[in-house]
Structure 1
């Protein structure tokens, strides 16, 4: 467990990279960061789909810079408190799904599952891709797995057997 630096509360770049401070949690910062992304998801979900995709895409590219800059400042490649990648990963997981507490919870559980167990190619990317892009991409891949399962579940539930 990496202790959150004081700069999280003083430096706006670090504050954002630490998921609006949620990554400063001493326990399970990735999980706490993902939880912190849920209320913002409900706000984003009110946007038209195209704008939602644009915002999440911008959050990804800004996140690459935020995470790299914060990592460099802290001297730690992927400090456990850097959770902007969890924010973006969760929002990507929820792309074009029904907006409800049940779907939000399912997305949370599946995203965290894939982010923690890191099946191929997530683990490969986590170990081999450097910089801010490297910090972000493993969560994007976890989101692809989680989102695909959620979309499959939605499809199956929508069938009229």
Structure 2
């Protein structure tokens, strides 16, 4: 089984993408997942862009499981704000797979990367996910002295070991 998602260069249709929270539609071929472009502060901002349609990973009739690969390019731009130097970058971003339809949880800003509700360390049931995180802020649950790091999150914001 092969999965093809038409989200590369200009081959995708905007209606195939779902924008939530503070995410904005592409401008100059770039998607802003937080509120860098239109807000004075990025505090408590969160945004999500996802594919707007269900993607079948398993064929119950044949028992065949899909495999896939992906590649992407992204940039984490740090704002220059001398009036508020602690508000210059967010906590990071994550590429995730979740049940369809998946919606951005309320109160999932900051270190929760738009995946989990604050103060809920794990997702259950249809809220489960797997994600690759690009973490740019050292939270209390992060391994000590990791600072900026990549991690694999399995239904939890604390990276798997």
What's the TM-score bracket when you normalise by the shorter of the two chains? 0.3 to 0.5
**When the two structures are superposed, what TM-score results if normalisation uses the length of structure 1?**
0.36
Larger strand share, 1 or 2: 2
**When the two structures are superposed, what TM-score results if normalisation uses the length of structure 2?**
0.36
